[in-house]
Amino acid sequence: MSILCNIETSSYINTRMKIIKLSAINSTNSFLKEMVSDSMVDDFTVVVAKKQTSGRGQMDTKWVSENGKNLIMSVFCKFSELFIAQQKFLNYAVSISVFEAVKNYKPPKLAIKWPNDILSEKDKIGGILIENSLKKDKIQSSVVGVGLNVNQEVFPVDLPNASSIKKKINKEVDLEEILNLVLQQLQLNIQLLRDKQYELLEEKYLRVLYKKNVPSMFKNSQNVLFMGKIVGISSEGKLQIELNDETIQEFGLKEVSFV
Ligand SMILES: O=C(O)CCCC[C@@H]1SC[C@@H]2NC(=O)N[C@@H]21
């Protein structure tokens, strides 16, 4: 694999976790997926990069991050009993982990915006891209990608709501420290998932969900504005919004946005 020449270090941070540090890569998710297809990967292998040349976000967007300033990482997780229908709990476990790690730095109004954006105030400081390998009705394994804006201070003008922890707390954050916090949290919450602690994961997620129970303006896929409040997540992982007439409607990822 030609990409292996970028490896800076490869070590174990504890008995369970192998960590590969790269100076540059196309995408840590793509790199790990390639390793998985070559069967080179143990459970909880972590890939961290200083820079991505083709970082990927949700819904075919790009994830751009200034070289060496932020956390760019992917983790490989194996599952034996996780059904595709339980995907939302994996999403909860990962979002909660990033949230809890960032919480240590006390950025203002930290929240998870459904499904898995990390916000401080109204600004996005982190995103998550989970790519699954499926067999029949189960998730066999996942590559969990996390992009967290840590010390970047300047963002492209076309991303007015992008920010970083440093911008929010006016202090530089140690990248190695926050990496370890995210990994500790991931080990904890992925274990909860493997232990089928679904109610606990849902409770943790809903407690910090952005605008939960707060009357808000939304836009549907036909660009129609409407008022409502988020009341929960359906069993299929859709956003449940209570409308003014007290009916509850469910929305998939492409079907609704905040205004
Ligand atoms: O759109 C989003 O909010 C998700 C962004 C996820 C970005 C991370 S950075 C590390 C990993 N590698 C990628 O190419 N994407 C994810």
How confident is the model over 30-65, as pLDDT tens digits? 999 999 988 879 999 999 999 999 999 999 999 999
* pLDDT, tens only, 60-93: 999 999 999 999 999 999 999 999 999 999 999 9
Residue range(s) of every CATH 3.30.930.10 domain in the chain? 19-207
Q: How many CB atoms within 10 Å of residue 191?
A: 11
CA distance 257 to 259: 6
Kindly list the protein residues whose Cβ atom lies closer than 6 A to any atom of ligand 1.
27-29, 52, 55-58, 61, 63, 72-74, 117, 127-129, 145-147
Domain with CATH 2.30.30.100 in the chain: 214-258
Report how far ligand 1's centroid is from the alpha carbon of 213 (Å).
Answer: 28
Write the pLDDT tens digit of every residue in 135-184: 999 999 999 999 999 999 999 999 999 999 999 999 999 999 999 999 99
Distance CA 49, CA 26 (A): 10
Average pLDDT over residues 196-206: 98
Give me ligand 1 centre to Cα 231, in Å: 27
- Residue 168: predicted pLDDT: 98
Fold held by 19-207? BirA Bifunctional Protein; domain 2 (3.30.930)
Using CA of residue 180, residue 24, residue 143, residue 91, what is the dihedral sign? positive
Report whether CATH 2.30.30.100 matches the domain 214-258.
yes
Alpha carbon distances (Å) from 117 to 16, 45, 182, 208, 246: 27, 23, 15, 12, 27
Ligand 1 geometric centre to CA of 248 (Å):
31
Tell which atom from ligand 1 comes closest to the C-alpha of 28. 12
pTM, full prediction? 0.95
